[in-house]
């Protein structure tokens, strides 16, 4: 297992898409910071750094999905996975090492984005208004969310041997999750009263609880909560959902990989 991990991270440091993610995601947040600072100065708007603290969790899913597809797809196309099995590594170890590389790569990209956010945001907008312990707690929730995303897209990428097909499936998958999460959030934020009276689309009772559960169950839904509100609305439920998704996709992926024909 240690040799597999070492080989995987050696390949990671040489992976061009990983370094592209390390540039693009922090770059996007930096652009957002400077853009809002410009608006603050020009139009006398009021902004704080708090609105940017968790932005990486909204974007990281796009990196995780594409990285898993390209990185693991290359291992299939180069015959690396088959060679690992030939020299005696177990399929479970191969799968778990692949998951670890996907998780750590996403975590590093997100960590870099957070560092850039603080490095640029504090001089522009001042220190966060949220207590440090609360911020650390929300970041811990974000780590669990990244683990769930890594579990989902490692499963997909390990089940599809074609890199191009894997890239398409994973890309469509993350945009589908984002679209569903956006729709759920929109329904939950719909006001009870509108200009002409009661809003018939306002969610109540069981329907609202189902939507709230789905928002917590989907990693992208958690990411939107962190980016939109600066916190998870049901942290315990969301954390349990992340753990369930991570464990479920990992166990399911290992079982499916055990039976996969790699000829």
**Count of domains for the chain:** 1
Q: What tokens were used for 198?
A: 């009661």
pLDDT at residue 262, rounded to an integer: 76
Rounding to the nearest 10 degrees, give the CA dihedral for residues 174, 180, 182, 188: -150
Which tokens go with 65? 């999905």
**Structural domain span for residue 133:** 2-259
> What's the rounded Cα separation, in Å, for the pair 193 and 20?
45
- Listed in sequence order, the residues at least 6 apart from 213 whose beta carbon sits closer than 8 Å to its beta carbon are 237
The secondary element (H helix, E strand) that includes residue 167 is helix 163-189
Cβ atoms of residues 184 and 221 within 8 Å: yes
Residue pair 238/212 in contact by the 8 Å Cβ criterion: no
- The residue among 162, 140, 8 whose CA lies nearest residue 73 is 162
Q: Is 62 helix (H, G, I), strand (E, B) or coil?
A: helix
* CB atoms closer than 10 angstroms to residue 169: 18
Residue 239: other Cβ atoms inside 10 A: 17
Quick one: pLDDT at residue 89? 84
Q: How far apart are CA 165 and CA 215, in angstroms?
A: 28
Helices 132-159 and 55-77: crossing angle in degrees, nearest 10, is 30
| pLDDT for position 141 | 96
pLDDT at 42: 82
Give φ, ψ of 90 to 5 degrees: -75, 155
* pLDDT for 175: 96
Angle, CA 242 vertex, CA 48 and CA 109 arms, to 5° = 50
* Among 142, 156, 140, residue whose Cα is nearest residue 102: 156
Would you say 150 and 98 are in contact if contact means Cβ atoms under 8 Å apart? Answer: no
Predicted confidence pLDDT, tens digits, the chain (263 residues): 788 888 888 989 999 999 999 999 999 999 999 998 888 888 877 778 888 899 999 999 999 999 999 999 998 888 888 888 888 888 999 999 999 999 999 999 999 999 999 999 999 988 888 899 999 999 999 999 999 999 999 999 999 988 999 999 999 999 999 999 999 999 999 888 877 778 888 898 999 999 999 999 999 999 999 998 989 999 999 999 999 999 999 999 999 999 888 76
d(CA 162, CA 77): 7
């Amino acid at each position: 297992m240690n040799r597999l991990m070492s080989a995987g991270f050696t390949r990671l440091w040489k992976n061009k898409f990983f370094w592209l993610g390390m540039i693009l995601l922090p770059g996007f947040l930096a652009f957002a910071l400077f853009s809002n600072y410009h608006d603050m100065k020009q139009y006398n708007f009021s902004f704080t750094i708090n609105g940017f603290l968790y932005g990486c969790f909204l974007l990281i899913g796009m990196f995780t999905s594409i990285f898993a597809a390209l990185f693991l797809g290359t291992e299939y196309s180069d015959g690396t996975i088959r060679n690992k099995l030939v020299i005696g590594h177990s399929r479970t170890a191969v799968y778990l090492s692949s998951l670890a590389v996907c998780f750590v790569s996403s975590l590093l990209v997100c960590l870099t984005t957070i560092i850039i956010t603080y490095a640029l945001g504090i001089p522009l907008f001042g220190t966060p208004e949220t207590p440090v312990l609360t911020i650390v707690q929300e970041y811990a929730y974000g780590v669990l969310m990244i683990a769930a995303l890594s579990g989902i897209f490692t499963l997909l990428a390990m089940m599809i041997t074609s890199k191009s097909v894997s890239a398409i499936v994973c890309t469509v998958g993350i945009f589908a999750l984002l679209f569903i999460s956006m729709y759920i959030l929109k329904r939950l934020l719909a006001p009870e009263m509108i200009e002409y009276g009661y809003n018939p689309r306002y969610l109540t009772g069981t329907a609202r609880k189902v939507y709230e559960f789905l928002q917590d169950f989907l990693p992208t839904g958690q990411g939107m909560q962190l980016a939109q509100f600066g916190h998870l609305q049901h942290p315990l439920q969301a954390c349990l959902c992340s753990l369930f998704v991570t464990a479920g996709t990992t166990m399911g992926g290992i079982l499916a990989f055990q039976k996969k024909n790699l000829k």
